[in-house]
Chain A
Amino acid sequence: MTLIPVPGRLVALIFFLLLVAKNNNCYSQTIVKQENQNEKNFLVRTKQFNEFVDRFNYKVNFHGDSADSEFKSKIPRDKLINSLFDLKDPRVDPNNERYSKKYVDEKTEFISEMILKNLSINKHSGKIIAEARSRVLLKGTPHVISIFLSQEVSGNNTVKWVINDVKGDLFNFFKSDTSLVRFIPPSSNETDFLNLKRALDDTDHLQYYSSKDYCPDYLSVFYYMINSKLIQFEYTEEIIYHIIDIPGWFIKVKEFNRNEMNSGWLITDIGKNTFDKFNYLKNN
């Protein structure tokens, strides 16, 4: 394996570097090397979700290099995991009215279990669910929906993200009404289901004409709406990772965009979990 730039590009690059060298005296801009407070903050900040997983697994130091014994002796794993929590969470501040002893105890139990059992997160686990809170336009009006994605690893170790599910008020188009009993009568079959017309005209309450096992598949509804141009995808506003890869627990991770060391991708919530992926998505 080699990596050689094509000759034309090489010539252009040399020419550019010569120009840079020639005009070096009038440089008012640089790639900064000295450290300032901003730089220190960004160094400690968990810059990517990938970095979050590496730090959680005690694999890298703050420079992204392998965590060696010197680093490990300075920063024990429990301290590193604790630094990956949002430390501004009101639930961990005893002076805040939203302080929760239950959450603090659960957090302590979680960290202890990670250390005791030496648990880690599998970076390409299918049990890492990315919730992409996204802006879509429905007939020109903006709506926020959640698109849930997870990673799929194929036999030859290639990885891709796939869409698992979608949620949003947009899809709750059925209305509840218990004042009337809605059904297709038992003798309808003998009249070639003439009642179907009546049932399907009741557009807000179609769910009552379905089986008791009926469960709407919003992803197919979403694909249909996109395909028929009923809605247009605009952009992703925010990502929240739901990690259910660690047995017995769920972890929620999101990006905290603030200029301090405890920033970037941090744990925003943890809790006990007994659901598999399908049921976790259904219940969250």
Chain B
Amino acid sequence: MVKKLLTIVLATAISLIASSQTKTAVTSKQAKITDEINLSPSDIELFKEQTKQKVEEFQQYIVTLGNKNEPAEKRNMAEKEALKLFYNGAQMEITTIKPDGSIQKINRPMEKYLARLKSLPFTKVIIKFYDIAYISEFTKGPDGKYYSTATIIQEFTGFTNDEIVYKDVTKKEVEIIVDLVEDKFFNEKRWKIFLGDIKATETKSTETETKSTVLK
């Protein structure tokens, strides 16, 4: 009986080790394949263009989901669609410079950030994006994906009964990832642009500092 039990335990252990080895082997094999696929300079130019569109799409969703005048259905859809632009596990890091010069950083999963943006305690919100988006060159990472960063500037104004109670300008650095993903519909692999982590830094606060906590 003990011998039988030991055999089962041993077999389970061997299968566990084997499965973890297989996973590692598959990962390195995949990395090797993507390593051999390179984007041409014209492809990269095209991706730079498409990144601009993707970033604009994100900005439009932000504007919509922050707008209290829009129907709930449309704001919910904007939230859902905005999330689809992101890589799984993307985070938003918000940096605030306190009056004493010290820095405060808060990290939130993107879904939580978007949900909070939708439910800010203002009667009216105006979000404007400046027509500036700087996108750095794409660089290939050891995993075969291409990486870049886009910078966008957002002006946020929060009202309570037509009175401005909060205003800030934030600079957002958005990580851009171009990944080779399987398109099940066409049954082939395609390069796709995703947004990744975002680092947001408040650059100018023109209204009451204490109210800024609502955005964190």
Q: Is the CB of B130 within 8 A of A38?
A: yes
- Chain B residues within 8 Å of A32, by CB: 128-131, 155
**Chain A interface (Cβ < 8 Å from any Cβ of B):** 1-4, 6-7, 9, 12-13, 15-16, 19-20, 23, 26-33, 35, 38-39, 42-43, 47-48, 50-51, 64, 123-124, 154, 156-160, 234-235, 237-238, 257-259
Q: Does B173 contact A (CB under 8 A)?
A: yes
Q: Which of B40, B69, B80, B190 contacts A2 (CB 8 A)?
A: B190
CA separation between A78 and B111, bound complex, in Å? 46
Residue of B with least CB distance to A31: B129
Q: Is the CB of B136 within 8 A of A48?
A: yes
Q: Is the CB of B140 within 8 A of A159?
A: yes
- Interface range on chain B (Cβ under 8 Å from partner): 35 or more
Q: Does B70 contact A (CB under 8 A)?
A: yes
Residue of A with least CB distance to B190: A2
Given A31-B129, A48-B151, A64-B135, A158:B140 Cβ within 8 A: yes
Q: Is the CB of B141 within 8 A of A3?
A: no
A152 to chain B, nearest CB (A): 9
- Chain B residues within 8 Å of A9, by CB: 84
Q: Which of A35, A43, A50 contacts B136 (CB 8 A)?
A: A50
A267 to chain B, nearest CB (A): 19
Given A51-B134, A157-B140, A23:B191 Cβ within 8 A: no
- Chain B residues within 8 Å of A20, by CB: 60, 64, 74
Q: Is the CB of A158 within 8 A of B142?
A: yes
A237 to chain B, nearest CB (A): 5
CA separation between A237 and B136, bound complex, in Å? 22
* Interface positions of B from 99 to 153, Cβ below 8 Å from A: 103, 105, 107, 124-132, 134-137, 139-142, 144, 149, 151, 153
**Chain B interface (Cβ < 8 Å from any Cβ of A):** 35, 39-40, 43, 46-47, 50, 56, 59-60, 63-64, 66-67, 69-71, 73-74, 77-78, 80-81, 84, 93, 97, 103, 105, 107, 124-132, 134-137, 139-142, 144, 149, 151, 153, 155, 169, 171, 173, 183-186, 190-193, 201, 203-204
CA separation between A20 and B69, bound complex, in Å? 12
Q: Which of B74, B77, B135 contacts A12 (CB 8 A)?
A: B77
Q: Is the CB of B191 within 8 A of A1?
A: yes
